[in-house]
Amino acid sequence: MRVKVRVTALIVAAGSGQRLGGDVPKQYRLLGGRPLLRRAVEALIGHPRVDAVRVVVGADQQEQVASALVGLEVGQPILGGPERADSVRNGLEAISEGIVLVHDAARPFCPPDVVDRLLDALATADGAVPVLPVSDTLAKGDRELRGTVSRTQMLRVQTPQAFHVDDLLFAMNEAGSSRDTDESTVLQHAGLKVATIAGDEMLDKLTTARDWEKAEMMLASRMISRTGMGFDVHAFEGTGPIIMGGVAIPHDHGLAGHSDADVVLHAITDALLGAAALGDIGQHFPPSDPQWKGASSDRFLLHAAELIRTRGGEIDHVDCTVVCETPKVGPHRAAMQAKVAEILQLSPAQVSIKATTTERLGFTGRQEGIAAQAVASIRMEVR
């Protein structure tokens, strides 16, 4: 019986992203709303043949990595070194055994079938790497052309690359201080057999600002529009003011509710949660929980917006209709629109507040309470 060998994906993320530039190293920068490193980890963590994912990070990156990977099981981050090869070695020593998939954080979209091909190839080789043919003409030279090179002899080598941890450590020791940017070459130099499998354009590394822009565009094209609706009612009770759309509106009566009874923000929150298919406001903030007693409802709205944005979503528009005889909404409409826009970090043009009466019919017509109905349009990645 064959013993199953543990497969660990080792994601190196200890670089400084010099060529891309920017305030934070690229692996922590948000790509389509999610950190690049998080995307690289998520692409591998759910694969049925990957048992664990570990990350290698820079000494000064502990806080950034914790926030980028919140909620993902990656164990203790491993400390990297000055060169990529040092980071890989530190990772291998921490893993110590089994099969490793050495992968760059700078390649956020690893297709699952690449992992299958790599692991299958290890049945007959010591290592396996994804490669792609070169399609552009290749030439020697610096600025001046010094003759072309036959591209049929050339391959683009990508990551993840699959090895047995002990083989790769052995090969790295054999190589000593001679540095190669690619593990498969190190393995070959040590006399071990490296197989090639079909790579994938999705694995291309994000190195320059242009690479980043293209990845953003690709993600944007994958976003689909989604719509959600929300509805809420609060009964008049006690004395005013009424809080609607985050604005205090003078009125004889107040509204009954566990929180601040902001009927407008509640309806919009539910519309956003609905658009993202993330349940409803009562699930996220149960009325039975004392911590929400008297709570300002902008927290609920903000939470819904954050849930969408951490999933790479974008809010395009919200529209709310308030249904009541009194108070008159018109004089407060602009303030409510501005407040909702501020909470959701949208422009006021992306927020619509409307009002109507029910011609004295029904509970709103009898002035027993206020109802609000909202619709939200968002865009989210298809996953």
Secondary structure letter of residue 291 according to DSSP: G
Contact 269, 229 (CB under 8 A): no
CB of 344 to Mg ion, least distance (A): 38
Q: Which is nearer to ligand CTP, 18 or 221 (CB)?
A: 18
Q: Which DSSP helix (H) or strand (E) runs through 315?
A: strand 314-323
What residues from 210 to 249 belong to the interface with Mg ion (CB under 5 A)? none
> Backbone phi, then psi, for 185, in 5-degree steps?
-65, -40
158 is a site residue for ligand CTP (CB under 6 A): no
87 is a site residue for ligand CTP (CB under 6 A): yes
One residue of 53, 69, 106, 247 binding ligand CTP per CB under 6 A: 106
| β-strand pairing of 138-141 with 145-149 | antiparallel
- The three-state secondary structure class of 288 is coil
The site for ligand CTP, by CB under 6 A, has a size of: 23
User: How far is 172 from 183, CA to CA, in rounded Å?
Assistant: 8
Can you tell me which residue has the tokens 């600002």? 209
> Sign of the CA dihedral 11, 14, 18, 20?
positive
Sole window of 61-69, 104-112, 143-151, 270-278 interacting with ligand CTP (rule: CB under 6 A) = 104-112
User: How far is 249 from 252, CA to CA, in rounded Å?
Assistant: 10
One residue of 9, 13, 271, 318 binding ligand CTP per CB under 6 A: 13
204 is a site residue for ligand CTP (CB under 6 A): no
Mask for 12-41, x = binds Mg ion (CB under 5 A)? ---x--------------------------
CB of 66 to ligand CTP, least distance (A): 17
- The three-state secondary structure class of 137 is coil
- 1 is written with which tokens? 């019986």
CB of 210 to Mg ion, least distance (A): 17
Query: Could you tell which of Mg ion, ligand CTP, none binds residue 17, using a CB distance below 5 to 8 A set by kind?
Result: ligand CTP
- Contact residues toward ligand CTP (CB under 6 A) are 12-20, 25, 27, 56, 80-84, 87, 104-106, 205, 207
Residues found near Mg ion in the complex (CB under 5 A): 15
